[in-house]
Amino acid sequence: MARKRVAVLISGRGSNMVALIEAAKDAGYPAEIVLVVSNEPAAVGLKRAVAAGIQTAVVDHRPFGKDREAFERALQRELAAHGIEIVCLAGFMRLLTPWFVRQWEGRLLNIHPALLPAFKGLDTHARALAAGVKEHGATVHFVVPEMDSGPVIAQGAAPVRAGDSAATLAARVLEIEHRLYPRALRLVAEGRVRIVDGRCLIDGRPAVTNS
Ligand code: GRF
């Protein structure tokens, strides 16, 4: 089966992007990372992508001001020019409009550093500590217009330990993210994920949480 052509969208350091690139180095992996796009010209992740020999593009959102769709049309042109089939958001800090999300329905993935539906939005680690939860983690899900929602493809849990700071907890969760995202992308690229009534079935069964 032909490997799926994947673009990774970033805004920052790109450690999840690197995890995807590393996984895709294996010829048996069902997806190849053919493009990395950043909305931030200064994103450190861009340098890491170049070092890995991946093509990069910058679509700066600033010149488009409040016109989100115009920004997304520029993004869409890059994706189309590279024949992209699946898009992975990896620390991409722009909200996407329903217009863009619809183009990529079932082919647009995001990773969020929490066990959704808990702790949508930013500063998840500090909020998890403040809430006193015993378990935190990460979620890969399909993107829908509502932020940090959408069918869950895979989740990975991490224990919250006594004495954790937001930084130590984030580091523990990040390790999980780096394992989880390649696993989730593999499932999608292999066509093993079906959305039924707003939920993902993997090989016909509900997804389970791993650590
Ligand atoms: C990750 O924690 C990811 O879950 C969140 O933003 C962070 C991005 O980190 N969406 P990196 O750029 O992949 O290193």
Distance in angstroms (rounded) separating the CA atoms of residues 7 and 33 = 6
Q: What separation in Å is there between the alpha carbon of 139 and the centre of ligand 1?
A: 11
Q: Could you list the beta-strand ranges (E) of the chain.
A: 4-10, 31-38, 55-58, 86-89, 108-112, 135-142, 152-159, 193-196, 199-202, 205-206, 209-210
| DSSP assigned state of 41 | T
Per-residue pLDDT of the chain (211 residues; tens, 9 = 90+): 799 999 999 999 999 999 999 999 999 999 999 999 999 999 999 999 999 999 999 999 999 999 999 999 999 999 999 999 999 999 999 999 999 999 999 999 999 999 999 999 999 999 999 999 999 999 999 999 999 999 999 999 999 999 999 999 999 999 999 999 999 999 999 999 999 999 999 999 998 777 5
Ligand 1, atom 14, residue with closest C-alpha: 15
Average per-residue pLDDT in the chain? 97
Question: Does the CB atom of residue 111 touch ligand 1 within 6 A?
Answer: yes
The helix-helix angle for 44-51 and 15-24 (nearest 10°) equals 20
Q: Ligand 1 center to residue 1 CA distance, Å?
A: 30
Which amino acid type is present at position 123? D
Residue with tokens 């020019």: 81
Q: Would you tell me how many other CB atoms lie within 10 Å of the CB of residue 2?
A: 7
* Predicted pLDDT at 211: 59
Q: Which tokens sit at 1? A: 């089966």
